[in-house]
Amino acid sequence: MSDNSSFVLRGGIAFSESINNIVTYYRGYLVCVDGICQGAFSELPEKYKDLPLYDYGERLIIPGMTDLHVHAPQYTFRGIGMDCELLEWLNTYTFPEEAKYQDIVYARKAYSFFTYDLMRCFTTRAVVFGTLHHEATLELMNQLEETGLITYVGKVNMDRNGGEHLQEADAKASLEATVKWLDTIKGKFQNTMPILTPRFIPSCSDELMKGLGQLSKEKGLRIQSHLSENLSEVAWVKELVPQSSCYANAYELFDTMGTPECPTIMAHCVHSDEMEMDILKKHGAFIAHCADSNMNLTSGIAPIKKFIDAGVNIGLGTDVAAGSSMNMLKTMLITLQASKMYYRLVDQSVKPLTFEEVFYLATAGGGKYFGQVGTFKPGYDFDAVVIDDSKMFTMRDMSIRERIERMCYNDADAIIKDKYVKGKKMFSSMVV
Amino acid sequence: MSDNSSFVLRGGIAFSESINNIVTYYRGYLVCVDGICQGAFSELPEKYKDLPLYDYGERLIIPGMTDLHVHAPQYTFRGIGMDCELLEWLNTYTFPEEAKYQDIVYARKAYSFFTYDLMRCFTTRAVVFGTLHHEATLELMNQLEETGLITYVGKVNMDRNGGEHLQEADAKASLEATVKWLDTIKGKFQNTMPILTPRFIPSCSDELMKGLGQLSKEKGLRIQSHLSENLSEVAWVKELVPQSSCYANAYELFDTMGTPECPTIMAHCVHSDEMEMDILKKHGAFIAHCADSNMNLTSGIAPIKKFIDAGVNIGLGTDVAAGSSMNMLKTMLITLQASKMYYRLVDQSVKPLTFEEVFYLATAGGGKYFGQVGTFKPGYDFDAVVIDDSKMFTMRDMSIRERIERMCYNDADAIIKDKYVKGKKMFSSMVV
């Protein structure tokens, strides 16, 4: 790797040492060698004194965030139709929009809006749904590769219930299209990885699900999908897969729940009970918790604190366009609020998430899906975001810990100045 | 009034015709004569053709918003300490901060941050808590008068439970200080009105409450306070006023619940039941619904749809610093999410608020407290905000209705270009 991925940054540093502890340094030093973090320090160790040093003054430096669940083609209609619940929203807004990505000219322009904004938010890693279209998904991957972000991207599989314009002919056609897509991208990208993407069980026949389970095993490919988001959806899945003991078990039956070495991401898990929790844990699956989306579509609130205590892997997802923004700070705020309401309104034995826990989920929790990612401990990939929070005037001498909490509750006033992914600076003056 | 408060604006116009209906005009005309709205039109009526016309092109023009509940001195610590509940938060963060406003130099600087940001947000009218300090409250009123915004401001009364540094000596001293404050400001301001402000019952002795009730009657002064925000607070009030049948009745007993002609604002009402609802309605009181605050402090969710159906007056409050931002769009989003969770988690007979309802609450609902304010129907005060939403790229030909919904769900990308209060343009290029 080139020399320019070895350097020192100076500023107000914050990162999770554990899920319950945020470590901070005022005017500290953060060292990157060959794209890998060497740790944060109050005084710069002698051995790093020859590295170039970039001093960000009073600005904040935090780990890049991981968006574990976002639908690229839905970005075009974020923030509208939010008075619907899931199934109505899919049929009225989502499926008609995604059908348009059959047209590569449309897809190219629409995805340019998505990638432009993704570059300019707090996210350095993302796990992305495309559409079922071959060309459009290639275009999305090309554009993402150019950004320098590190992502997984899925060509969506759906062979039923998508309506006339958003459905593959049958399981065979869907599987063939998937293999064709995988063949086309082989060796093409450095930072943009494929992920198998059955939309959710209502969109995929048993045969298609089984075929994807097999493909995952054969090629060592990861899977992403949706689980127990909405009560009507859960009931529907029970009808569609009557032999399953629960929604998660339906995925298990098709061999799509993954393994700890090849973990599946399941978005939502709002209505997951202990049985589902055990299944997720057994398979080493990651929950993509999407609180903004789950409130917007009146889905409910996932009992995240329970999942954490049970040791299930969890990160946060913005779930655009059911979530209305790719701003992970806003997602953190809504995650906190959701957990407080779960405690207040549902179950007072489940304590609200702390700010420490939510900061961890947004950075290290989701980052774990990508390996050693999401914190500034030595050996982790150097993903960092530099933030100017000076627009938020204050009268007090605020600690770094207070400033990152305030920034999360006032996302509109936290301005990104620079972003690094695996030690590579994306570009300067990111502000549009 | 001078000629420059008579003009025509052109752009994408939206306003509430009723709580269930938003009227929109694409490239419509909005007419202001002597600070009063003459209505919105698709074609400009002949009689207004000589007025100066300002064409805002594709920009949106919506009614100015009313923030029915905001604590000016708390703005300095917004967004921190949010893992606390109400009483701990008051003692740890709020009271020590408010005590600092004893120092007029501190107050002057701190309030300048508040007024600067209040000018630059979607709010044109606000009902504001100060602190208990005479000089600082005068300073706040002076600064607000200069902004051109129209506000009520309260010198806070508290003669118990404020701790050593934030408490008046006794009821008599508190009442005398209030009369002195009222005498000092008599005739001084055009847009900045006084409002009696007992903090809440735990902060005010029976004698003080009774004295304020009497003062309100004698001088025709309105009152603002807090009601049924947090369960521990509700229980405490029951202890403090054992003869009351409920928290609202305690205010009634002290004659501080107001009348339809001189309405009291009660912030929160999270735990208000039918009995409290009846009391609020009988007195013509306004509920300041503060969903952001109520989630942040784990207070709960107020059943706003029930209050609407019962015909109680309601507007929205940001409740900074328990709410973390003065951005009313964000408050709208969280209001929607809160009502959806109330429906999903508490009572499925109480339907979630629609976007139409929440837009109404933010504009006309709260505006009603100021008279004919908060919509563009003829005869209403001309309060308007001009918004540039072009940062939100889209692929579709969006309706004005869709754009205002999207803007509410993506507040950070809605840029205020101009703001008018009662026909007076605040200033150009508001963006900082």
Compare B4 and A229 and report the one with higher pLDDT: A229
Q: What is the pLDDT of residue B428?
A: 54
Mutate to test the interface with A, among B24, B82, B354 (most CBs of A within 10 A): B82
Residues 6+ apart with CB under 8 A from A184: A134, A138
B324 → chain A, closest CA residue: A409
Q: Specify if B237 maps to a domain.
A: yes
Is the Cβ–Cβ distance between B154 and B224 less than 8 Å?
A: yes
Torsion angle of alpha carbons B111, B116, B119, B120, nearest 10°? -140
User: Cα–Cα distances in Å, from B254 out to A121, A333, A347, B154?
Assistant: 52, 39, 37, 19
Residues of chain A with pLDDT > 90, as a percent, come to 96
Tell me the chain B residues in contact with residue A411 when contact means C-beta distances shorter than 8 Å. Answer: 412
Which neighbouring-strand residues pair with B265?
A: B224, B286
- Option in A76, A110, A395 nearest B76 (CB): A395
Confirm whether A250 is domain-assigned.
Answer: yes
A1 located within any domain: no
Checking DSSP bridges between strand A53-63 and strand B36-41, what pairing results, if any?
unpaired
pLDDT at A371 over 70: yes
Residue B198 φ/ψ, nearest 5 degrees: -65, 125
Burial A225-239 (b: 16+ CB within 10 A, else e): bbbbbbbebbebbee
Whether B419 maps to a domain, the answer reads: yes
Give B100→chain A minimum CA distance, Å: 10
Q: How far is A74 from chain B (nearest CA, A)?
A: 10
**pLDDT at residue A349, as a whole number:** 97
Q: How far apart are CA A193 and CA A185, in angstroms?
A: 9
Say yes or no: B268 and B240 in one domain: yes
**Length of chain A, please?**
432
Q: How far apart are CA A306 and CA A352, in angstroms?
A: 10
Position B178 confidence tier, pLDDT thresholds 50, 70, 90 = very high
Sort out which chain A residues have CB atoms less than 8 A from B354's CB and list them.
83
Query: CA-to-CA distance for B25 and B399, rounded, in angstroms?
Result: 9
In which region does residue B9 sit, left (phi positive, over 0), alpha (psi from -120 to 50) or beta (all else)? beta
Nearest residue of A to residue B406 by CA position? A79
Q: What is the pLDDT of residues A289-348, one digit of tens each?
A: 999 999 999 999 999 999 999 999 999 999 999 999 999 999 999 999 999 999 999 999
Find chain A residues with C-beta within 8 A of B106's C-beta. 395
Q: Which of A101, A122, A406 is the best residue to mutate to test the B interface, defined by the most B CB atoms within 10 Å of its own CB? A: A406
Do A383 and A353 reside in the same domain of the chain?
Answer: no
CA nearest neighbour of B255 among B303, B221, B209, B218: B209
| A82 contacts in chain B (CB < 8 Å) | 336, 355, 405, 409
Q: Do B113 and A79 lie within an 8 Å CB cutoff?
A: no
Q: Which residues of A touch B82 (CB under 8 A)?
A: 336, 355, 405, 409
Any domain includes A322 = yes
Contacts of A101 (CB under 8 A, 6+ apart): A73, A107, A110, A130, A131, A133, A136
For A271-338, the DSSP string reads T--HHHHHHHHHHTPEEEE-HHHHHHTT-----HHHHHHHT-EEEE---BTTB----HHHHHHHHHHH
Contact between chains at A409 and B116 (C-beta distance less than 8 A): no
pLDDT value at residue B251: 98
- The answer, yes or no, to whether residue A63 has pLDDT greater than 50, is yes
> Do B196 and B304 lie in a common domain?
yes
A69-80 pLDDT per residue, tens: 999 999 999 999
CA distance A201 to chain B (A): 24
Question: Is residue A78 located within the same domain as residue A117?
Answer: yes
What pLDDT digit, counting tens, does each position of A173-221 carry? 999 999 999 999 999 999 999 999 999 999 999 999 999 999 999 999 9
Interface size A-B, in CB pairs within 8 Å, comes to 151
Compute the nearest-CA separation of B297 from chain A (Å).
Answer: 8
Residue B217 lies in a domain: yes
User: A292: nearest CA in chain B?
Assistant: B337
Chain-chain contact of B398 with A337 (C-beta, under 8 angstroms): no
**Sorting pLDDT into bands at 50, 70 and 90, what band is B430?**
very low
Sign of CA dihedral B250, B252, B254, B257: positive
Residue B382: the pLDDT is 98
CA dihedral B419, B422, B427, B432 (to 10 degrees): -40
How far A313 CA sits from the closest chain B CA (Å)? Answer: 23
Give the Cβ contact number of residue A35 at 10 Å: 17
pLDDT tens per residue across span B390-417: 999 999 999 999 999 999 999 989 999 9
In the predicted structure, residue A431 carries a pLDDT above the cut 70: no
Q: Out of B76, B340, B406, whose CB is closest to A396? A: B76
Closest CB from A79, A110, A299 relative to B406: A79
pLDDT above 50 (res A32): yes
Q: How many CA atoms lie within 13 A of A416 on its CB side?
A: 29
| Residue contact A79–B334, C-beta within 8 A | no
Q: Within this chain, do residues A69 and A57 fall inside the same structural domain, yes or no? A: no
On whether the CB atoms of residues A352 and A107 are closer than 8 A, the answer is no
Q: Tell whether the model's pLDDT for residue A168 goes beyond 80.
A: yes
User: Closest by alpha carbon to A123, among A147, A141, A146?
Assistant: A147
pLDDT at A427 over 80: no
pLDDT at B111 over 50: yes
For residue B302, what is the domain's CATH number?
A: 3.20.20.140
Nearest-CA neighbor of B147 among B112, B181, B182? B112
Statement to judge: residues B309 and B408 lie in one domain = no
Burial of B75 (0-12, 13-18, 19+ CB in 10 A): buried
Q: Which of B78, B300, B334 sits opposite A344 (nearest CB)?
A: B300
Question: Which of B322, B343, B370 is at the close of a domain?
Answer: B370
- The residue of chain A with its CA nearest to that of B357 is A83
- Which of the four pLDDT bands, split at 50, 70 and 90, describes residue A361? very high
**Looking at residue A430, what is its pLDDT?**
47
Rounded Cα distance between A137 and B202, Å, is: 60
Q: Give the model confidence (pLDDT) of B304-350 as tens digits.
A: 999 999 999 999 999 999 999 999 999 999 999 999 999 999 999 99
The answer to whether residues B130 and B203 belong to one domain is: yes
pLDDT tens column, B351-384: 999 999 999 999 999 999 999 999 999 999 999 9
Interface confidence, given as ipTM, is 0.96
B423 part of a folded domain = yes
**Model confidence, pTM:** 0.97
Q: Which of B291, B266, B272, B286 is nearest to B231 (CA)?
A: B272
Rounded CA-CA distance B200/B230 in Å is: 12
* Chain A residue closest in CA terms to B355: A83
Do B79 and A407 count as a contact with CB atoms less than 8 A apart?
yes
Beta carbons of A393 and B340 less than 8 Å apart = no
Average pLDDT, chain A: 96
- Picking from B323, B344, B370, the residue at the C-terminal end of a domain is B370
Q: Are B192 and B71 within one domain?
A: yes
Over residues A125-134, mean pLDDT: 98
Which residue's structure tokens are 């060592």?
A: A220
- What's residue A163's pLDDT? 87
Residues A251 and A366 in one domain: yes
CB pair distance less than 8 Å for A395 and B296: no
Number of CB atoms found within 10 A of residue A191's CB: 17
* Same-domain check for residues A57 and A88: no
pLDDT of residue A428: 55
Q: Residues B23-70: pLDDT tens digits?
A: 999 999 999 999 999 999 999 999 999 999 999 999 999 999 999 999
Q: What value does the mean pLDDT of chain B take?
A: 96
Query: How many domains is chain A partitioned into structurally?
Result: 2
pLDDT of residue A97: 96
Give the CATH number for residue A25.
2.30.40.10
Per CB-CB distance under 8 Å, the chain B contacts of A325 are 409-410, 412
Q: Tell me, what's the pLDDT at A429?
A: 45
Span A229-249, pLDDT tens digits: 999 999 999 999 999 999 999
Within a domain: A2: no
Percent of chain B with pLDDT over 90: 96
Sheet with B150-154, side-by-side order of all strands: B65-71, B123-129, B150-154, B192-194
Render pLDDT for A88-102 as a digit per residue (tens, 0 to 9).
999 999 999 999 999
Examine the fold and report which residue of B370, B387, B418 is the final residue of a domain before the chain moves on.
Answer: B370
Most distant pair of Cα atoms in chain B: their distance: 66
Q: In A, which residues are within 8 Å of B398 by CB distance? A: 80
Q: Per-residue confidence at B163, pLDDT binned at 50, 70, 90?
A: confident
Q: Are residues A140 and A18 in the same domain?
A: no
* A330 and A385 fall within a common domain: no
Instruction: Check residue B432 and give its pLDDT.
Output: 37
Strand partners, A392: none
Domain of residue B32, residue span: 7-64+375-428
